Amino acid sequence: MSFASDVKNELARAMPDKQCCRLAELAGFLRAGGAFGRAKDGGCALTLSTENPAVARHYKKLLKECFGTNSNLFVGNHANFRKKGHLYELCIDESADAEHILRETRVIRAGDGRDIINEGICDELLKTRCCRRAYLRGAFLGAGALSDPEKGYHLEIVCDSEVMAGDLKRLFNGFADIRAKVTSRRGRFAVYIKNSGRIADILNILGAHGQLLKLENVRILKELKNRTNRINNCDNANLDKSLRAAEGQLGVIAWLRDGDALSSLPAKLRATALLRLANPEASLSELGEMSKPPISKSAVHHRLKRIEEIVAKRR
């Protein structure tokens, strides 16, 4: 099972308590995963499609509780042979039932002698915060996708129209700091979020609290690994820097030794120079501890710097 399937399975187990939230969720799902048109008898035809069996069962039950409608469930294969798995379709046979559902969820409205499809989201369904959350939940269950957080962070909902995508983006951004964006792709539009923290916020908004905890665990482990790598890289860089400095110090002291000039150094500088020659891989702190009497790291650094300046003048 993918992470997205786990999220949808968790969301499909929760039934909204309020009738207004049930209508809002159904409306979101219908606009994302529904197909509606005219039946042969001139009435409305309605089909809800999903790849997730738990989602299909959830909306079959929701349709029954909201409208008393017995939808027929069909299991088939994708028209696109590249897609694996089954496709679950809920079909409303009765034209009167289909039309009633589409009107109540504000998918269609009466126009000049004919029904008009609402391209965007009807504000009547979004009067409360819980209804807005329910609408987003339905839209995600209908056409949402979510990448595995182990591999990356990407959440999107695909829409058929730019108007719908724009409304969905505004609905997301009505919650704190979501910053959803819209992109076009092969004639369709996707509302997407790529930030891990904002995706975590969306899971909380949708109500997928169990999968939110899994996402947070992955984020924490990733951050620990990244922090460990940064520390290791920093330590390696500091070690390389120390080794380069030690090589320079050894070269300077070796120049004095080869020229029989070590004895010309002041006693403290000469003692530190001999310690460095005897311990080429020791750190400044270790050289300070070896000194008699022991001295600080900064004192060792100052003495070696002074030796380098003396040699620079003599050269």
How large is the average pLDDT for residues 294-298? Answer: 89
Q: Which run of H or of E encompasses 38?
A: strand 34-38
* E strands in 164-315: 181-185, 188-193
How large is the average pLDDT for residues 156-161? Answer: 90
Domains and CATH numbers, the chain: 3-207 (3.10.28.10), 239-314 (no CATH)
Q: What is the pLDDT of residue 112?
A: 58
How large is the average pLDDT for residues 213-238? Answer: 83
Nearest to 143 by CA among 191, 197, 210, 91: 191
- Please report, for residues 111, 130, 151, 276, the alpha-carbon distance to residue 206 in angstroms, rounded to integers and kept in the order given: 33, 10, 22, 64
Full-model pTM: 0.72
Confidence of residue 180 (pLDDT cuts 50, 70, 90): very high
Q: What is the pLDDT of residue 38?
A: 61
Confidence of residue 80 (pLDDT cuts 50, 70, 90): low
Nearest to 143 by CA among 198, 175, 91, 185: 185
Q: What is the pLDDT of residue 42?
A: 58
Q: What is the pLDDT of residue 187?
A: 84
Q: What is the pLDDT of residue 211?
A: 93
- How far is the C-alpha of 154 from the C-alpha of 305, rounded, in Å? 53
Q: What is the pLDDT of residue 113?
A: 55
Q: Pick 313 or 149 by higher pLDDT.
A: 149
**Model pLDDT for residues 82-94, shown as the tens digit of each residue:** 566 788 888 887 7
Contact 205, 25 (CB under 8 A): no
**Model pLDDT for residues 4-21, shown as the tens digit of each residue:** 999 999 999 988 889 999
Q: What is the pLDDT of residue 32?
A: 85
Contact 139, 149 (CB under 8 A): no
How large is the average pLDDT for residues 119-148? Answer: 90
**Model pLDDT for residues 37-50, shown as the tens digit of each residue:** 665 565 677 888 88
**Model pLDDT for residues 227-248, shown as the tens digit of each residue:** 888 887 787 777 777 777 778 8
Which of these ranges, 66-75, 111-120, 138-147, 302-311, has the smallest mean pLDDT?
A: 111-120
Considering the chain, what percentage of its residues have pLDDT values greater than 90? 29
